[in-house]
Amino acid sequence: MTSRTLRPKNRVIAAYLAPGLLIYCFIVIVPLIISLIYSFFDYSGGISMKFTGLKNYQHLIRDIDFWSSFKNNLVIILLSMVGQIGIALVITIFMMSKLLKLKAVHRNIIFLPVVVSAIVVGFLWTMIYNKDFGLLNFLMKALGMESLIIPWLDNPKYVIISVSMPIIWQYIGFYLVIFLAAIQSIPGEIYESADIDGAVGIKRSLYITIPLMSDTLKVAVMLCIAGNMKIFDHIYVMTGGGPGTSSMVMAQYAYINSFVMFKLGYGSAISIGILVLSLSLILLSRKLWGGKKDEA
């Protein structure tokens, strides 16, 4: 029996793919097209729509609040690259060593926050940061570090770092699972040869594991950028974008314009702006990574 006989017919393949493609089009493609259309109108809901051409985008380019929120997204992305990807990579390398026991238990515990709702995580860390009865300040008092206690979510200087910590904490396990799968796909013969040549410990990680994971790391960076460019839930629960606009992110700014101020046309333009900036950052990361790889 040949593989040709076992291959399903094209209409069978199409029938299996159709439900998923229809759902994807309904929840992704159609809203994207509608947002693009709305972005060319002065639209506040109802049936009244006034075509304004590129006026919303001209306003967007000059909007200081939008670019301030974009800067906050960039800070969160940079912190998450170091925190989520960096910490996950270190933990992954440690978990592949022979020193660690009960690896499955550790993996499940680290991955557990990923399946918790972002709203729950936001409320949990709000209580941790509470100035009067929060766990963080309680531990600092117990360690005699009262001078370092600050209102973590009310100080504009530190609030963007404070709201980044729950995001980093929640998704370390996500990248850990990706990195574990990548390392387990590396042939064991490579590590055996490395052991013979004396490449053990940190040398094994730096010269074998990480270079062979370069494609996976590239994907992780793109996922990190895409995920944190649309971050919303944690910050909405913890600070609402405050104090002032010091922790405002682009998704929240689009939400406020669309559903609080009822400027649906301008809110749609912001959404398209988020998409364009996200794609630009992802393409930039690919170009920089590709350039470094070519130089190597």
DSSP assignment of 63-79: -HHHHHHHHHHHHHHHH
Position 1 scores a pLDDT of 46
Q: Using CB atoms within 10 Å of the CB of residue 60, give its burial: 0 to 12 exposed, 13 to 18 middle, 19+ buried.
A: middle
CA distance 234 to 253: 14
Q: How far apart are CA 87 and CA 164, in angstroms?
A: 14
Q: Is residue 233 part of a domain?
A: yes
**Burial of residue 191 (number of CB atoms within 10 Å: 0-12, 13-18, 19+):** middle
Whether residue 53 lies inside any domain: the answer is no
Q: How many domains are contained in the chain?
A: 1
34 within some domain = no
Specify if 22 maps to a domain.
Answer: no
Rg (CA), the chain: 24
Q: Which domain holds residue 73?
A: 62-295
- Apex CA 12: angle with CA 6 and CA 15, to 5°? 150
270: nearest Cα among 18, 16, 56, 45: 56
Residue 43, pLDDT score: 85
CA atoms of 274 and 39, how far apart (whole Å):
13
If you search the block for the tokens 């009310």, which residue do you land on? 154
Q: Measure the CA–CA gap between 271 and 217, rounded to whole angstroms.
A: 28
Regions of the chain where pLDDT drops below 50: 1, 294-296
CA distance 233 to 166: 11
The pTM assigned to this predicted structure is 0.89
Q: Which CATH number is 262's domain given?
A: 1.10.3720.10
Q: Quote the mean pLDDT of the chain.
A: 89
Residue 43 inside a domain? The answer is no
Any domain includes 36: no
Structural domain includes residue 32:
no
What is residue 296's predicted lDDT score, i.e. its pLDDT? 46
How many C-beta neighbours within 10 Å does residue 113 have?
17
What are the pLDDT digits (tens) for 180-225? 999 888 887 887 777 777 766 677 778 788 888 989 999 999 999 9
Is 44 inside any structural domain?
Answer: no
